[in-house]
Structure 1
Amino acid sequence: MKINKILNNNTVLVIDDQGQEKIAMGKGIAFGRKVGELCEKSQIERLYTLENKGSDQLLESIPQDILYAADYIVRMVKEKLETEISDALFVAIADHLNGAVIRSKEGVSMKNFLLWDVKNIFREEFEICREAMTKVSEEMHIDFTEDEVGFIVLHIVSASLSNENSAAEVLLKLMEEILTVIKYSLKTSFDDDDIYFQRFKTHLKFFTERILTHKKLEGDLHNGHDSEMFEMMKNKYPESFETVEKVKDFIKKQYNYEISPDEQFYLMVHLSRIMKKSEVNKGEKGVL
């Protein structure tokens, strides 16, 4: 592999025998080297394929310590989740970490409106990421908020959506089918600019992924306390519950997937928020 660009003493961009550009990391890997020279394979500790154009320019602007922090997070995630994850995750996390560090130093915080969903739907990923980010915080002397942890989790989940059965067109088709069932059941339309609908669509994206891969959402609704919450939601928002029942029946019939109580609960929460916002908007228009 030939060195195509030197980012720092420990990170270089290389071109492999197939002409693919990759990130090679290793202690002192670039020391005394020049562009065009061969990279010693014995010095390469980690190798990431650059899947998106412009990633090389992006990486040039990211400090060495952040690149290593991103590498640490990716390695921990791959090790603990034991799943195939796109190499694009490394660049995505490095880029986000760089922005998070800048925001922290400037005293600027960025609100993650999907944090509730992330913590409750992707519990394992969130705990792994929080553990990794805690280590990174200690090394870099930067306090990362839970919002930032949540953003990293979203990058992780997105990078893991590479199953052949979950191609974009299949996901979109299923999402549209579910939205159609909901629209006819609730006799309503959706506002694409509404934050609650945007959050629901993000939830729906990962929900359809689980349906297509037959992966269950592990939760605690079998416990007494959460079971009471489910019943409370069911009684307080009967329209949302009935709609979720229709979605459940559709998914069972068409995809042979049984929606768990946890999935039903989260769907009810999202739909109740959307309906409540819709009623408020109608009331405001009525006043005008």
Structure 2
Amino acid sequence: MKIIQIINNNVALVKKGGHEVFIVSKGIGFRKKKGQQVSEDEIEKMYILDSYEMLEHFSYLLSKSDSNDILLISRIIENAEEKLGIKVSDYLTLTLLDHLEFLLERAEKNQFIASPLIWDIRRFYPRHFELALESLQMIEKEKNLSIPSDEAASIALHFINFWDNKKSDRLLEMQTLSDIVSIIEKHYTFKIDESSTNFMRFSTHLQYFIQRIIKSELAQSEGNISLLYQQISQLYPEAFKAVQKIKIYIKHQFKADISMNEETYLMMHINRLTERIGKTDEI
């Protein structure tokens, strides 16, 4: 296999047959150069993504991520596959790497949120939650951090999404996603590039939120969220206003109320999306 591009110390893009694939090989950035060959016995992991958009997104994430993060995510996924007895899509690497980066961003600011779904996940998906706790411990050890166990709920959702083949009403989900994006665009008075990396990241988080609405799984707020809610509201006033409009839409369409937890998550994700509009050199 011929190396097309060195992404970072441990990852390269290579040509395999008629496809471009990512490979993980520890230290490849030091050992190899573009144009050189790499043999299969040097490869620890290979990722084949099914679209140009995913390939582009993955390449961008890897180029901006810590070179050891992909190895950490690979170990987490290998543990998940072994414990759950399944083979997951390479797309899970992309979503988990994205999740890890956002988690680390929030950890720097001490912005941890008590998940409104933690008790439901523990009750209905105990294996996935335990697996997420193990993943969280791996992240803590690698990054020398102390992270609240509530954060495991969000990681568990990634495993559940790939394990559970039952799908909600896709048409309703897509329409709701479109409506919420429209609300955000009208509030901020700009058009979001839906082919951009920033939007792809945002839409992944929004899809989980919409699925919970459709399944009537929006939980009540935890008692200790109010202070963080107030802080985030003040830090991101435009995101707060946009969420109030989304609340009205959800109430009208689904007769559902968004909890303070859900509002806080939405504000953080909307701010993350909108503050990066036009910025192509950072995520």
TM-score by length of 2: 0.56
In 1, the alpha carbon distance for the partners of 2:15 and 2:163 equals 25
What RMSD over aligned residues (CA atoms) do the two structures have, in Å? Answer: 3.2
Change (3 A) 1:276 1:149: closer
CA contact (8 A) 2:9 2:28 kept: yes
In 1, the alpha carbon distance for the partners of 2:102 and 2:256 equals 35
Tell me which amino acid in the other structure corresponds to 1:98. E
CA contact (8 A) 2:76 2:135 kept: yes
Tell which has more relative contact order, 1 or 2 (C-alpha 8 A, sep 6+): 2
The aligned runs of 1:88-103 (5 Å cut-off) are: 88-103=91-106
CA offsets 1:74-120 (integer angstroms, 9 cap, x no match) = 01000110012111111111111111112112222244333232222
Unaligned runs of 5+ in 1: 177-195, 205-273, 279-288
Partner of 1:27: helix, strand, or coil? Answer: coil
Tell me which amino acid in the other structure corresponds to 1:156. F
Shift of 1:73: 0.7
Unaligned runs of 5+ in 2: 174-208, 218-253, 259-283
Change (3 A) 1:22 1:28: same
Question: Which residue pairs with 1:15 in the alignment?
Answer: 15
In 2, the alpha carbon distance for the partners of 1:13 and 1:202 equals 39
The reply to whether residue 120 of structure 1 matches residue 123 of structure 2 is yes
Change (3 A) 1:134 1:173: closer
Tell me which amino acid in the other structure corresponds to 2:150. D
In 1, the alpha carbon distance for the partners of 2:216 and 2:35 equals 46
1:172 alignment partner, one of 166, 169, 174? 169
Question: Which residue pairs with 2:28 in the alignment?
Answer: 29
Question: Which residue pairs with 1:271 in the alignment?
Answer: none
Tell me which amino acid in the other structure corresponds to 2:40. K
Question: Which residue pairs with 1:150 in the alignment?
Answer: 153
Question: Which residue pairs with 2:212 in the alignment?
Answer: 199
In 1, the alpha carbon distance for the partners of 2:57 and 2:171 equals 32
Question: Which residue pairs with 1:46 in the alignment?
Answer: 45
In 2, the alpha carbon distance for the partners of 1:113 and 1:99 equals 18
Once the two structures are overlaid, the 10-residue window that deviates more, 62-71 or 140-149, is 140-149
Change (3 A) 1:38 1:145: same
Change (3 A) 1:58 1:197: closer
1:79 alignment partner, one of 78, 82, 107? 82
Shift of 1:3: 1.8
Question: Which residue pairs with 1:159 in the alignment?
Answer: 162
Change (3 A) 1:156 1:202: farther
In 1, the alpha carbon distance for the partners of 2:102 and 2:121 equals 20
CA offsets 1:183-226 (integer angstroms, 9 cap, x no match) = xxxxxxxxxxxxx996353578xxxxxxxxxxxxxxxxxxxxxx
In 2, the alpha carbon distance for the partners of 1:32 and 1:12 equals 11
In 1, the alpha carbon distance for the partners of 2:104 and 2:257 equals 35
In 2, the alpha carbon distance for the partners of 1:197 and 1:102 equals 24
The aligned runs of 1:59-70 (5 Å cut-off) are: 59-70=62-73
In 2, the alpha carbon distance for the partners of 1:57 and 1:122 equals 32
Question: What is the percentage of aligned positions where both structures have the same residue?
Answer: 27
Q: How many pairs were matched up?
A: 184
Partner of 1:42: helix, strand, or coil? Answer: helix
Partner of 2:3: helix, strand, or coil? Answer: strand
Partner of 2:68: helix, strand, or coil? Answer: helix
CA contact (8 A) 1:100 1:144 kept: no
The reply to whether residue 106 of structure 1 matches residue 106 of structure 2 is no
Change (3 A) 1:174 1:96: closer
CA contact (8 A) 1:25 1:47 kept: yes
TM-score by length of 1: 0.55
CA contact (8 A) 1:4 1:12 kept: yes
Partner of 1:31: helix, strand, or coil? Answer: helix
Question: Which residue pairs with 1:240 in the alignment?
Answer: none
CA offsets 1:107-152 (integer angstroms, 9 cap, x no match) = 2224433323222221101101211321321222012222321111
Shift of 1:64: 1.6
